[in-house]
Structure 1
Amino acid sequence: MKKIQLLSLFLVLGLFINASEVEDGYKIGDYVSDFSLKNIDGKLISMSDYKDAEGFIIIFTCNTCPYSKLYEQRITELHNNYASKGFPVIAINPNDAKRQPGDSFEKMKERAKAKKFPFPYVLDETQNVATEFGATRTPHVFLLDKENDKLKVAYIGAIDNNSRNPEAVTEKYVEKAIGEIKAGKSVSKTNSKAIGCTIKWREA
């Protein structure tokens, strides 16, 4: 009987720990730290490099996830439409290349060239940035808004409400949030569920 009770306790504790891990990372309204990550051209990219930026569309994505592939064109369009308005895209690959060889730095360069990415595509080799942000999926968006020279999280989640078919999208979460920020309004929808593949974390 005692063994069963102990087992139940461990299971409950395990669920609590897992729930806590999911809750880690930035929340809406948090200020974020800058990062320095290697871009596909070999240069280091930081948000502080963008002197005129009013915010950023940070997207954790990768080469191999089918959902990331479905969103590649939409990510390109986001950058093309909003970089000139102060909200450039920085795409971050958080996947461990040992677990997912198709997401290696060399494969990133190949993918970016083939798809003509107009935005930085950087590698989070240590996975520290993904951990700090609390990213769990690819793709996973964190929209940042500059406030008093600091970058604040304004929206977290998906790009829109239809991953499979861009023609069937009825809610463009990121675009709407940027429009509200530019208009001096509060973001009306600050969170949505990120639909995609789980990040391939390093094995202990």
Structure 2
Amino acid sequence: MAYQIGDTVAPFTLPRAEGGDLTVDPSAAPATVVVFTANHCPYALAWHERVQQVARDYADQGVAVIQINPNNQVTHPNDSTAASARRVADGHFAGPYLRDEPQEVTRTWGAEKTPDVFIVDRSGALVYRGAPDADHDDESQRATYIRQALDDLLAGRPVALSETPPKGCGVKWRTETVTIGS
């Protein structure tokens, strides 16, 4: 069952695109933004810099912005671990970029699109899920939905807009079973 607003999310560990693992634990930050994204999707690419700017703008308040590429790298080589690592090496990310090759975290969170944004508070409660803002083509939107949710959360207010429809490319699901370690 996918996470719903108000659910407590569990910490998880995924590999970084450039190597090594990262454990994401919401209790380590006043807010954690988890963005399921992609290297090839025009929607994810249109919103990409706005999400990076959120990461930079809220870093001094301790907000963690974690981006995860969930797509099947066999059918979508532009979303491969190697392609993702190149984007990291080229400085395209203002925070960790992870790969969910077995897609278990993606399924648990219920991500459907790239991008699909989730925000959790320090207790791990899911407080926002949806799009970064209202229009991927309008850079002046500045990831307004993410910013409004973070501003509410950091000010100790209930998040006024807790859910919007995610917009973007569908997650490219694996059709075969992946066995970790083989």
Using structure 1 for the length normalisation, give the TM-score.
Answer: 0.82
Tell me whether 1:161 sits opposite 2:134 in the alignment.
Answer: yes
More helix by share: 1
Q: Tell me which residue corresponds to 1:189.
A: 161
> Residue by residue, what CA displacement relative to the aligned partner does 1:26-80 show, whole Å, maximum 9, x if unpaired?
00000001111111231211123x8741120100001000111111111110110
1:113/1:175 CA distance change after superposition, 3 Å: same
Provide the C-alpha distance between the structure 1 equivalents of 2:15 and 2:143, rounded to a whole number of angstroms: 33
Secondary structure of 1:46 counterpart:
strand
1:170/1:54 CA distance change after superposition, 3 Å: closer
1:170/1:55 CA distance change after superposition, 3 Å: closer
Provide the C-alpha distance between the structure 1 equivalents of 2:50 and 2:90, rounded to a whole number of angstroms: 16
Tell me whether 1:33 sits opposite 2:6 in the alignment.
Answer: no
Q: Could you say which structure has the greater relative contact order, defined with CA pairs below 8 angstroms and 6 or more residues apart?
A: 2
Q: Tell me which residue corresponds to 2:179.
A: none
The equivalent position to 1:44 in structure 2, one of 21, 24, 31, is: 21
Quote the offset at 1:82 in angstroms: 1.2
Q: How many residues are aligned here?
A: 176
Q: Tell me which residue corresponds to 1:56.
A: 32
**Unpaired runs of 5+ in structure 2?**
177-182
- Asked if structure 2 preserves the Cα contact closer than 8 Å seen for 1:145 and 1:153, the reply is yes
Secondary structure of 2:125 counterpart:
strand
- Asked if structure 2 preserves the Cα contact closer than 8 Å seen for 1:30 and 1:152, the reply is yes
Quote the offset at 1:171 in angstroms: 7.5
**Unpaired runs of 5+ in structure 1?**
1-23
The one-letter code matched in structure 2 to 1:35 is F
The one-letter code matched in structure 1 to 2:5 is I
The equivalent position to 2:58 in structure 1, one of 51, 68, 82, is: 82
Quote the offset at 1:115 in angstroms: 4.3
The structure whose Rg is larger is 1
> Residue by residue, what CA displacement relative to the aligned partner does 1:121-172 show, whole Å, maximum 9, x if unpaired?
000011000000000000000001112xxx11000001111111212x2881
The equivalent position to 1:135 in structure 2, one of 91, 111, 114, is: 111
Q: Which runs of 4+ in 1 moved over 6 A?
A: none
Identity of aligned residues (%): 32
Tell me whether 1:96 sits opposite 2:72 in the alignment.
Answer: yes
Q: Tell me which residue corresponds to 1:11.
A: none
RMSD: 1.6
> Residue by residue, what CA displacement relative to the aligned partner does 1:80-110 show, whole Å, maximum 9, x if unpaired?
0112212111000000101111100000011
Provide the C-alpha distance between the structure 2 equivalents of 1:76 and 1:171, rounded to a whole number of angstroms: 10
- Asked if structure 2 preserves the Cα contact closer than 8 Å seen for 1:156 and 1:192, the reply is yes
Provide the C-alpha distance between the structure 2 equivalents of 1:54 and 1:183, rounded to a whole number of angstroms: 11
- Asked if structure 2 preserves the Cα contact closer than 8 Å seen for 1:92 and 1:121, the reply is yes
